[in-house]
Amino acid sequence: MHETPETPETDEETPTLSADHRELISDLSGIVSDYPDADPESTLVVLADDATEALGRGATPEARRERTGYTILLHATCWYVSARIFSKSLFASYIQALDAIRTQLDRDTCACPPDAHPADLDSEYEVEAGVSMLTAAGRAVFAEDYGLDEEELAAFDCDGFLADLADEALARLHEAHQELFGGIDVSHLDAQFLLEDGGVDVVTLQEALSRSWENNSGQVALWSARRWLAGQVRDEERIAVFLCLWMGISQSYGGLPPSYARDLAAALATIDLDASCEHPRHPWPAAESTVQSQYRAVVHLHAPDDHPDTPVPAELSSRELWECPVHYAQLAREALKELEGWRTMRGGDAQD
């Protein structure tokens, strides 16, 4: 009777990703696919800070692995920072980390054959690649999962490849930073929204708002706010222009960045929120909540002879009720609540 030979013992273990890195892949994949489970702002702040910290660990093999991983991860997530979070401090953290990475990369050292660099990477693949590149075990798992040989895996570490990623991410972040936090010029809209006598063409403003597919709401709101703040609104235009401002805010469902919100908030701050009156009702709630109904109310208010149809009943249509300080205060409070909702939704700091 033959004995079954014993399987020789081995100290080798199958490489695996750590639980923390599996969780990081899950969190970042949710963010880049636009269905985040973890809080995006805090998750990306930690990512940028970890990247910066890793760059200070010298030229060890571990540090080089981390430089590769974090470069890929910052590139994969930079679109979300640019498009979804209105936070100057997060932008600054990303730019600082990428600038530091870029100083360590020399594109001229690239000796890769043509088309050797990883190409056409979608964000979720980049996330998996980036986290995997942080450790030797992660690289082994990634290479096995995707059938990569040593040369294909080494291409992720190429200075030329990483420099391209860092440069692309930095360009995107700088462009987005200007759009989100810089000054927005809407003076070109004067030609569209001003009459020959210098008055405001309220009907054209309302028509622009009604074309929702053109995404005009932010520009209409900002143009109206700038006219209001500059005192370039005639008395008979005030409530109509303020309603255009209000509607532009109300219809900006995804929220507007600080480059818009600063002037919108400044215009709303001119309204006395503590005003009082004895009127039981005011006109705007009667205009209902649809864009078309509000359009009819505003153009009738501004030019009743040309636009006789209005959802506002006659008993609420007097100028006294439209121009009542409490009416303005009610509108301003609602608009300010919208602005606060944008900050809750989009993140960022109060000073942004």
Regarding whether 191 and 175 lie in a shared domain, the answer is: no
Contact 228, 270 (CB under 8 A): yes
Q: How far apart are CA 47 and CA 255, in angstroms?
A: 25
pLDDT at res. 343: 87
Given 181, 199, 215, the domain boundary residue is 181
Contact 299, 307 (CB under 8 A): yes
Q: What is the DSSP string of 65-123?
A: HHHHHHHHHHHHHHHHHHHH---HHHHHHHHHHHHHHHHT--GGG--PPTT-S--S--H
pLDDT at res. 11: 47
Regarding whether 175 and 27 lie in a shared domain, the answer is: yes
Q: How far apart are CA 223 and CA 216, in angstroms?
A: 11
Q: What is the DSSP string of 169-181?
A: HHHHHHHHHHHHH
Given 156, 181, 206, the domain boundary residue is 181
User: In degrees rounded to 5, what are phi and psi of residue 338?
Assistant: -60, -45
pLDDT at res. 289: 83
Given 181, 206, 233, the domain boundary residue is 181
Regarding whether 213 and 257 lie in a shared domain, the answer is: yes
First to last CA, the chain: 82
In a domain, 8, yes or no: no
Domain carrying residue 210 = 187-346
Which pLDDT tens digits describe the chain residue by residue (352 residues)? Answer: 444 444 444 445 678 889 999 999 999 999 999 999 999 999 999 999 999 999 888 788 999 999 999 999 999 999 999 999 999 999 999 999 999 999 999 999 999 998 999 998 999 999 999 999 999 999 999 999 999 999 999 999 999 999 999 999 999 999 999 999 999 999 999 999 999 999 999 999 999 999 989 999 999 999 999 999 999 999 999 999 999 999 999 999 989 999 999 999 999 999 999 999 999 999 999 998 899 999 999 999 999 999 999 999 999 999 999 999 999 999 999 999 999 999 888 887 666 6
The identity of residue 195, as a single letter, is L
The helix (H) or strand (E) run that includes residue 163 is helix 159-181
Regarding whether 271 and 217 lie in a shared domain, the answer is: yes
pLDDT at res. 12: 56
Contact 317, 283 (CB under 8 A): yes
- CA angle 264-230-350, nearest 5°? 30
pTM for the structure as a whole:
0.86
Q: What is the DSSP string of 116-155?
A: -S--S--HHHHHHHHHHHTSHHHHHHHHHHHT--HHHHHG
pLDDT at res. 169: 98
Q: How much of the chain is helix, strand and coil, in % rounded to 5?
A: 65, 0, 35
Regarding whether 176 and 214 lie in a shared domain, the answer is: no
Contact 241, 228 (CB under 8 A): yes
Residue 243: name the closest of 348, 334, 153, 308 by CA. Answer: 334
pLDDT at res. 345: 85
Contact 75, 38 (CB under 8 A): no
pLDDT at res. 244: 97
